[in-house]
Structures are given as C-alpha cells and as structure tokens.
Structure 1
Amino acid sequence: MSVKFQGIIPPVSIIFNEQGKLDKKGMATVIDFLIDSGVDGLFFLGSGGEFTQMSVDERKEVASFATSYVNGRVPVLIGTGSTNTREVIDLSQHAAQAGADGVVIINPYYWPLTEENLFAHYSEIAASVPLPILLYNYPGLSGQDLNPDFVVKLVEAHDNIVGIKETVESIAHIRDMILTVKGKFPEFAVFSGFDDHLLPTLSLGGDGAISASVNIAPELGIGVYKAYKENRFEQALALHKRMALMPTMYKLDSPFVSVVKEAMKLRGIDISTYVLAPARPLGAEKIEELKKILVQAELLPKETEVEAL
C-alpha cells in the first residue's frame, strides 16, 4: 500500500446544477480551490458529498470525474459505503478502475449487524478490492459503532484496511482507537470527523481530520495541523478555537449539506448551492444565522453581520 493518508482531507461537497445533474465546472472550481489551499487529499462521496441521495450510476459518474480531474495532484478517496455488500464491492472496484487511491467505507446502516456479520461484510470487501480501505465510523448515522477491539481484528486479518475516520462525539473513543489500534499497528491512520476534535486527535497521536469545514475554511484545518506539527502550539490553539465554532452551523439544517454550500458561496467560491432531495435549500433566515457564525469565526468581515441585521 504505497499511499500514506494523513493530514487534512476534506469530504468534498458535490456540486449540482438546477436539474440535479453533476456540475463539472462547479466541481472543478471546488477541487482547484481545495488543492490550491494545500489539502493533503480529497474525499468524494462522504456524508457531506450527498452519496445517500444518489443512484449507483450517479456515484460512479462523480468518482470517475473527480479522480480524472484531480489527475494525481493529491490522493483521492472515494466513499463506497452502502446497505448491501455487493453494492460496496461494485462501487469499490469501480473506484479502483477510475484510478482512486483508496476507498472509505461506512458500515451498513438500517440493520444493526452481529459482529460476525459485520466482520464478514468488511472481509468480503477487503478481499475483493485492490485499494487501501479506510473505515468510516459514524454511529450517529449508521446506528452501530465500530469499536477499537473490532477494528484491531479487521486490521489483523486484512492489510489493506489502513485507517479510520472517527466521526464520534467522544474524544475518549478516538483516544482508545489510537491506543488500541495504532498501538499495535503504528501505520494505521486515525482521523477525526468533527472539526473541534482535530487538535485533541493530534495531541493523542492521531493523523489528521476529514471534516466538512475544510470546504469552507481550509486555512483553519490546515493551519491547526501545520502549527501543531511545527510545535507552534499557541497558534494551533488560536486556530482551533475558531474551528471549534464551525459545528454550530451544522445545527442550522439536517442534512447540513446546504449549510456547507451556502457557507462556501458566502466565502466567495462561485458555485451552485443546489442540493439533492430530501435535502432542501437553506432559507433566508438560516442564511443570516450562518453569516453570524462565519463572522464569529472570523471568516467573514464584521460589516457582513451589520448587513445581515
């Protein structure tokens, strides 16, 4: 497994036109913006990438276009999770054929699985896919936690399972994942999923973040990561305090995909903010609330707040 995944990897917002079709021009704008900002990789078709609202063919179209357009400038990860094992394998094999560097796989949602069935699910995928696999632990949405002892068993059995995205409320869970899994397999990568967990994750020995705010303010996540790595802890903490405000914006709507796109547009990225149903456009009142949060995080000038009132 040649690619080492680390640092700041945004779960990229997927841009659509008003007919709900992939907007390749808008997508290119976002990809170029993030690469120019200095991200360490790009993750397409995560939760913020609206994969749950897409058909298999639509997901394949995004994977093919994104991988081709990035063209090796940074590592590309493709989300291939699904409720059924066959579909995950199909999507993962397609990602490999498209030239992706790895896949990110959330555990099946809807049915809670026995540990035996969950192990068999990931094992079948790992045996069928030639790419590195990052597990995606988001129990708040999947309904089932991937605990550190279970992850160790998977990593012991499959050398292409190389990391995990931990979108969990408890920093103790991330600590235990680092101590238990990285303790045994030091190359295993542990990423935080929530913005405000990046600095604690790094301080515990983790590898970075795959968090939505990087679409909006890559300078914060990248800044925290670089400052920490260069022992500039005061600067890392100052940036962390701003980044820690970001999750408050996700409470404005559910799913929060429209919030992220509106925030990107407010920050000057020229994109369509169209979202796929059942997500809906953000209303005017919520956009004003969003502006206030961005001002508070020093991502918009204060006069924006005056205009908003």
Structure 2
Amino acid sequence: MRSTTKFQGIIPPVSIIFNDRGELDKKGMATVIDFLIDAGVDGLFFLGSGGEFSQMSVEERKEVASFTTEYVNGRVPVLIGTGSTSTREVVLLSQHAEKVGADAVVIINPYYWALTEENLFAHYSEIANSVHLPILLYNFPTLSGQDLSPEFVLQLVEKHENIVGIKETVENIAHIRDMILTVKGKFPDFVVFSGFDDHLFPTLSLGGDGAISASVNFAPELAIGVYKAFKENRIDQAVALHKRLAFIPTMYKLDSPFVNVVKEAMKLRGLDISTHVLPPARSLNNEKLAELKTILVKAELLPDPSGVQV
C-alpha cells in the first residue's frame, strides 16, 4: 500500500461547475475535466476547498464524486475530498469514494473544534481503518484552525500504511521542509504536495513531489511547465515560469471565498463554463473582475490590451 508512484506532479483542486440553480452542471464539469486532462495534469482532486465541498450536502458531495470518477474513467488518478467536522461523515464519504472507484481520498482535519492530539489521531485512525484506499492528509491550518505537525503526521504514517501523503497549504515553506525531512526521511515514498502556487518550485527543490494548487484550473501550463522543467534539470526555465506563477496568489485576495475568482479566470482564459458559486460565496463584481484581468495580464495569461509588453 505504501507505493504512491501514481500520486505525483501537478494535480489541480478542480473547480466544481454549477448551473444558476446551484445544481451540478455535468456538461460544464466534463468540459473542465477534458481540458485539464488534455493539458497534461497528473491527477484530478475533486471536492477540495476550491471545489466548494464545505457548501454542499452529503448527497451533493456523493453526486460529484460519482459523476467525476465515472467521467474521468481511469484517464488519470481521481482524488476525492472527504473531510468534515464529523468523523462518521468522513467515514461515510470515504467509503462512498472507494465504492465508486476513486483512487484516493484527501482529508482535511475537523475545522470547528480544536482537538487534542489524542482525539485527532483517533479521528484519522478510525478513517484509515474504514477504507482500503490511499489517504492523503490535507493541512490547511488557516482554515482548519489546527496544524498537522510533521511529528504528528509521522506517527500516523507509522501506524497506517494507507496514509501515503499530504497536501501542505501552509504559509511557511519551512513547514514543508520539515515535513519532507521528518516524514519522507523515514518513508521516502510518502508524497508531499504544496498547496500554494508559489510554493511549487521551493517544494520541488526541497525534495517534495509536486503541487495541488488552484491556478492549474486556469493556467495548467505554468505549474506543469515548472514541474517538467525542474525534473528535466532545465532550472532556468523552471525559475522563469515560477516568476509568472508568483503573480497568481494576489488574485486570491480579491474575494473570500475566492472560488469565484478562479472560475472567472477559467472563463477569461476561454473555458465555456458557468461561473455560478454556492453561497456564502457570491459573484465577483465588475471592479474586482477588472482587477483580475490586470493580474492575468501581468502573469502573461491574457494579452495586454494596451499592447505594451509587461
């Protein structure tokens, strides 16, 4: 179970497409999936933060998991986010993901109570014992309110062979360094993904495995380009692409949740999709949409309307 060779590289946390009634838009979803696979991604992660899982019911999450897994049809690995504030709900959703044929589940820690380490360990252990699927932990302390420390993750990995990796959406790159040194140092096949776009290059340079980052939804060529260039030792090209990626995080400050920003960027880059988001997220206003266009121009993802090279 410890072998994780199929989990590496660039895996987008896919935006879920809805119609204006908030229902899953299967045609739009298919458009996004085909676009990303054609772009060369190494997997697809559905129902992460950018996939609006926290705004969905259990049945809606099951519908997304079922449709996306079936539509991908083995073309790339499918990862399903099953995190919740309730251990029982995580078990239910993880077992459903396994039943419909997902390749792995990705689980953020409960994000309401701050748990004792003993209770958090029991939470993940109960889930790990309930499925045979590989599990990637999802560390996003800004949203969950509680960090998964490298030492804690190592204890989980030592006990459960199906806990095979982590998505590190952390502000401090030193946390990723310590995760790699502590956990990969003992279990080399354990995979460490960065969550923030501009952490991809440093994560790779530290010995990490890739990224699960939002920009891949609308600019897959950047992260994929960084990854391939790094792996082929074309470091100058990797750095040049990384500099373009560095503009991307500024767009996430335009709104919160920024799921609307990502969908508008996807549409601006030519994807024929609905940009409807589930409340409490709201549509992006015209002023912020104009700011988004400016950021995309700076990242060389849209042509400069002035014709001046930026």
Please give the TM-score of this superposition, normalised by the length of structure 1: 0.98
CA shift digits 1:44-75 (9 cap, x unpaired): 00000000000000000000000000000000
Give 2:102's aligned residue: 100
CA contact (8 A) 1:89 1:128 kept: yes
Provide the C-alpha distance between the structure 2 equivalents of 1:30 and 1:304, rounded to a whole number of angstroms.
30
Give 1:154's aligned residue: 156
Consecutive unaligned residues of structure 2, counting only runs of 5 or more, are: none
CA contact (8 A) 2:13 2:213 kept: yes
Instruction: Choose the corresponding residue for 2:179, options 172, 177, 180.
Output: 177
SS at match of 1:184: coil
CA contact (8 A) 1:79 1:105 kept: yes
Cα RMSD (Å): 1.0
The 5 Å alignment of 1:87-236 reads: 87-236=89-238
Instruction: Choose the corresponding residue for 1:261, options 238, 260, 263.
Output: 263
Provide the C-alpha distance between the structure 2 equivalents of 1:172 and 1:186, rounded to a whole number of angstroms.
19
Code of the residue aligned with 2:299 in structure 1: it is A
Q: C-alpha displacement at 1:225, in angstroms?
A: 0.1
CA contact (8 A) 2:4 2:164 kept: no
Instruction: Choose the corresponding residue for 2:247, options 245, 248, 267.
Output: 245
Q: C-alpha displacement at 1:282, in angstroms?
A: 0.2
CA contact (8 A) 2:215 2:262 kept: yes
| 2:109 matches 1:80 | no
Q: C-alpha displacement at 1:305, in angstroms?
A: 8.5
CA contact (8 A) 2:4 2:190 kept: no
Provide the C-alpha distance between the structure 2 equivalents of 1:127 and 1:301, rounded to a whole number of angstroms.
51
Q: C-alpha displacement at 1:3, in angstroms?
A: 5.0
Instruction: Choose the corresponding residue for 1:9, options 2, 8, 11.
Output: 11
Give 1:41's aligned residue: 43
SS at match of 1:100: coil
Q: C-alpha displacement at 1:180, in angstroms?
A: 0.2
Provide the C-alpha distance between the structure 1 equivalents of 2:306 and 2:292, rounded to a whole number of angstroms.
11
Provide the C-alpha distance between the structure 2 equivalents of 1:160 and 1:127, rounded to a whole number of angstroms.
9
Provide the C-alpha distance between the structure 1 equivalents of 2:101 and 2:112, rounded to a whole number of angstroms.
30
CA shift digits 1:256-280 (9 cap, x unpaired): 0000000000000000000000000
The 5 Å alignment of 1:66-77 reads: 66-77=68-79
CA contact (8 A) 2:4 2:191 kept: no
Instruction: Choose the corresponding residue for 1:294, options 269, 283, 296.
Output: 296
Code of the residue aligned with 2:169 in structure 1: it is T
Give 2:30's aligned residue: 28
Q: C-alpha displacement at 1:304, in angstroms?
A: 7.2
Identity %: 82
Please give the TM-score of this superposition, normalised by the length of structure 2: 0.98
Give 2:286's aligned residue: 284
Provide the C-alpha distance between the structure 1 equivalents of 2:41 and 2:21, rounded to a whole number of angstroms.
30
Which 4+ runs in 1 deviate beyond 3 A?
none
SS at match of 1:251: helix
Consecutive unaligned residues of structure 1, counting only runs of 5 or more, are: none
Q: Mark the CA change 1:305 to 1:273 in structure 2 (over 3 Å): closer, same or farther.
A: farther
Alignment coverage as a number of residue pairs = 306
